[in-house]
Structure 1
Amino acid sequence: MTPRAAAHPTGARLLLLLALLGSLAAAGLADAGAARAAGYRYWSFWERDGGGWTYAAQGPSVTRPSDGDVQGFRFSVSEDSQNSAKPRGAGGFAAICSGTPAKPGTKRVALVIDPGTAADAPAGETPPAPRTACARLGPDATSAEALAAVAKPLRYDSHALLCAIAGYPRSGCGEQVPATRPAGGPRAHPSSSAAAASAPGHHIPSAGVVVGVGAVALLGVAAVWQARRRRD
């Protein structure tokens, strides 16, 4: 047997290993797709701009609304850090705050509170009906203070993520659940920076990516081996 022929078993083993890595990479990418399909259950925070809802750029604990603003909170299951259902209802400031007259030295903020649907509710709980409220506050009050004025009790976790409004839900906070929305639905970011950090916002390399990198490295080794084999 010549030295060239003796190298063939090594080449066969390399090709076999490459095929195995390819299969693992495909499985890893499939697992990553399944992980992306998971959702998180939490309250999202919105601001009404004209006739539509816009996801708030900051969390309610740091946002300071102006007199006449309309803000919304919606409980739902979101697939990732950029997916969330909007508050339902078209209530405007004039309608929501019609029974709360203006008062010097204060501001009025209209709130839409939507606990979501039965499909979004934790096991054993039924979402209350959506409602609106008008909060009268001091000029420097935050959106969280506006919410606390009309919808106690509120519940937060240790990362300041809003977990419950008016006691709903009774337990849980940003927990992972099977996704219920089709891919390609409306997208937005989590209700606060805390939500982004604790659940949908953080990403780690998938198994497919790690295995794929290994496969690329091994291909480089195989190329070097082939080049040396041709020179022999």
Structure 2
Amino acid sequence: MVAALLLTLFCAASPAQAAGYRYWSFWESAAGAWTYATQGPATARPADGAVNGFRFAVSADSSDSAKPRTAPDFAKICADTPAKAGTKRVAVVVDFGTPEHAPAGETPPQQRAACAQIGTDGTSAEALAAVAKPLRYNSEALLCGISGYPGTGCGEQVDVSKEGAAEAKPKPDSASDSASASASEGSGGGPSLGLVAGVAAVVALGAAGWWQTSRRRRRDG
């Protein structure tokens, strides 16, 4: 009886099927490493010498997004682009992702890096357009395609379990892009500690009731 109750409760406590989104994430360089951008490329205005990164992948939210696999090395990427008065240089890394994250029927191009030279007040979107046209946006100004990839779709929801994992990624610790990411699973991907504790308490009460009932029956019999 107790075992059946425990099994039923844990089945009910199991997290729902993980959901993610297939989209282009935007990254900036900081101390030689990639950091998730806090604003979109249309409003970000990188300084001369900055590195911007774009990565296509499936992820649940910003905290588990896959980073560009090319290091943010401005000196290397812009080595052949001399400084010019009235402009700024922005290194742009475009990582088209892996086959398992590609939409059906599409193959991701090889990742690339280029040096964009734009006006001093230019945005990251302008830097990207200077080196990776054609770009595709939807009606809400969401970046959907870079250099024609992917040809269709824009931020669609997908089943993460079916997409696989392109690389090891940290567990979500925030829900900036998906409010349900941390609510649907615990720190280890299963039921949360509070939920397990609640299940244990219910099972303990059930066991106590069963023991008292059995004892009463033996006494009355």
Q: TM-score, normalised by structure 1?
A: 0.67
Name 1:186's counterpart in structure 2: 170
1:108 and 1:186 map into 2 onto residues whose CA distance is 32
Counterparts of 1:187 and 1:108, CA distance in 2: 35
Counterpart in the other structure of 1:131: 112
Match of 2:48 among 67, 73, 80: 67
Q: What is the correspondence of 1:1-232 to structure 2 with a 5 Å cutoff?
A: 29-30=13-14, 32=16, 34-35=17-18, 38-179=19-160, 180-181=164-165, 185-186=169-170, 196=177, 201-203=178-180
Alpha carbons 1:70, 1:93 under 8 Å: kept: yes
Aligned length: 181
Gaps of 5+ in 1: 1-18, 207-211, 213-232
- Would the aligned equivalents of 1:74 and 1:87 in 2 still touch at CA under 8 Å? yes
Q: Summarize deviations over 1:176-214 as a string: whole Å, max 9, x none.
A: 1221239x8236799xx8xx3xxxx244998xxxxx9xx
User: 1:50, CA displacement in angstroms?
Assistant: 2.2
The alpha-carbon distance between structure 1 residues 125 and 98, as it changes in their structure 2 partners (threshold 3 A), is same
Q: Higher relative contact order by CA 8 Å / sep ≥ 6: 1 or 2?
A: 1
**Normalised TM-score (structure 2):** 0.70
Q: 1:84 to 1:45 in 2, by over 3 A?
A: same
Which residues of structure 2 form unaligned runs of 5+?
A: 185-194, 196-221
Give the deviation of 1:157 after TM superposition: 1.5
Using the alignment, how far apart are the partners of 1:189 and 1:97 within structure 2?
35
SS at match of 1:82: helix
Q: 1:132 to 1:88 in 2, by over 3 A?
A: same
- Cα distance, 1:162–1:188 mapped onto 2, change above 3 Å: farther
Displacement after TM superposition at 1:48 (Å):
1.4
Equivalent pair of 2:42/2:124 in contact (CA under 8 Å): yes
| Structure having the larger proportion of residues in helix | 1
Three-state SS of the structure 1 residue aligned to 2:63 is: coil
Give the drift of 1:80.
Answer: 3.4
Partner of 1:6: none
Root-mean-square deviation (Å):
3.2
In the alignment, the residues of structure 1 paired with residue 41 and residue 113 of structure 2 have an alpha-carbon distance, to the nearest angstrom, of 17
Percent of paired sites with the same residue: 60
Contact 2:34 2:72 in 1 (8 A): no
What is the CA distance between 1:95 and its match in structure 2? 1.1
